[in-house]
Amino acid sequence: MPYFEVHGIDVSHYQARVNWDTIASQKIDFAFVKATEGENHADSLFADNWSDIKRVGLKRGAYHFFRPRSSVLKQAQNFIKNVKMEEGDLPPVLDVEVADGASDELVIKRVRTWVEIIEAHYKIKPIIYTNLKFFNRYIDGNFREYPIWIARYNTNQPYLGNEQEWDFWQYGNRGELKGIDGFVDFNVFKGSLLELESLCLSNEPTYSAR
Catalytic residues, by residue number, are 10, 97
SS (H, E, C) 179-202: CCCCCEEEEEECCCHHHHHHHCCC
- Judged by phi (left if over 0) then psi (alpha if -120 to 50, else beta), residue 25 lies in alpha
CA nearest neighbour of 93 among 136, 69, 59:
59
Would you list the DSSP string of the chain? ----SEEEEEE-GGG-S--HHHHHTSS--EEEEEEEETTTEE-TTHHHHHHHHHHTT-EEEEEEE--TTS-HHHHHHHHHHH----TTPPPPEEE----TT--HHHHHHHHHHHHHHHHHHHTSPPEEEEEHHHIIIIITTT-TTS-EEEE--SSSPP---TT---SEEEEEEEE--TT-SS-EEEEEESS-HHHHHHHSS-SS------
